[in-house]
Amino acid sequence: MAYAGLAQEYLGVPAVTRAYTTACVLTTAAVQLELLTPFQLYFNPDLIFRKLQVWRLVTNFLFFGPLGFSFFFNMIFLYRYCRMLEEGSFRGRTADFVFMFLFGGFLMTLFGLFASLFFLGQAFTIMLVYVWSRRNPYIRMNFFGLLNFQAPFLPWVLMGFSLLLGNSIIIDLLGIAVGHIYYFLEDVFPNQPGGKKLLLTPSFLKMVFDTPEEDPNYNPLPEDRLENQPRDQDLNQQPPQ
């Protein structure tokens, strides 16, 4: 019974959030069980282009380090804000959400070509947090019961927290920068005088991820209408003798 409830809860998570979070957890579990090593996952342009180890373009976004405080902290934020975006401003727009993933991952990969960054999953999480925070500017946040602030300050608070833990803030700055580029191109620039929408989701993504909308002008054939109508049965009618 508990298993059925857990499975139902898992399947109730939006598709993109469920897929990405599961991939991150399974990748970390594989490393913990020594089925994989971080050396097989990290971002290395030389190995990608010369050895054709193209999986590194994806796996560097899936590994958040060994099990510990940092891993669970990142997983909580990834799951929470990815799900809130998918159920909020991207509700019914799965293809657009996937396109944001691809756009953000592409920009981070470009930056990774010129910097010594091995894993970009944390930057990706910060990007999701940044986009959500800018689209929900009036929500009040509380950080561990110590700080109260408006949602747009959340990425900067997380960056400060990383600094306190002794981590490099380059990853956080990259996530904020990519998140701002997406937010500006998607939400700000199209609403400016002379602006237009530059980020157009490819049609093939819409075909794969979005359910087609029903045509309001569609008029079914008469026989189709008759077949779909419920057939009333006279309960008082006596069967023939």
pLDDT averaged over every residue in the chain: 86
pTM of the model: 0.84
Per-residue tokens: 46 = 């030389």
Share above pLDDT 90 across residues of the chain, in percent, rounded to a whole number: 63
User: Hey, CA dihedral for 30, 33, 82, 130, is it positive or negative?
Assistant: negative
- Span 92-106, average pLDDT: 95
Q: What is the pLDDT of residue 120?
A: 94
- What number of helices (H) and strands (E) belong to the chain? 11, 2
Instruction: Please give the pLDDT value at position 218.
Output: 57
pLDDT greater at residue 222 or residue 227? 222
Residue 98 pLDDT level (bands cut at 50, 70, 90): very high
Q: Which amino acid is present at 159?
A: M
Q: Report in angstroms the alpha-carbon separations of 93 from 87, 144, 212, 215, 238.
A: 9, 32, 11, 18, 53
Give residue 162's pLDDT band: very low, low, confident or very high (50, 70, 90). confident
Look at residue 174 in the predicted model and tell me its pLDDT. 95
pLDDT, residue 157, reads 92
115-124, 176-185, 227-236: segment of lowest average pLDDT: 227-236
Distance CA 93, CA 89 (A): 8
CA-nearest of 62, 177, 169 to 121 is 62
Asked if pLDDT for residue 167 goes beyond 90, the answer is no
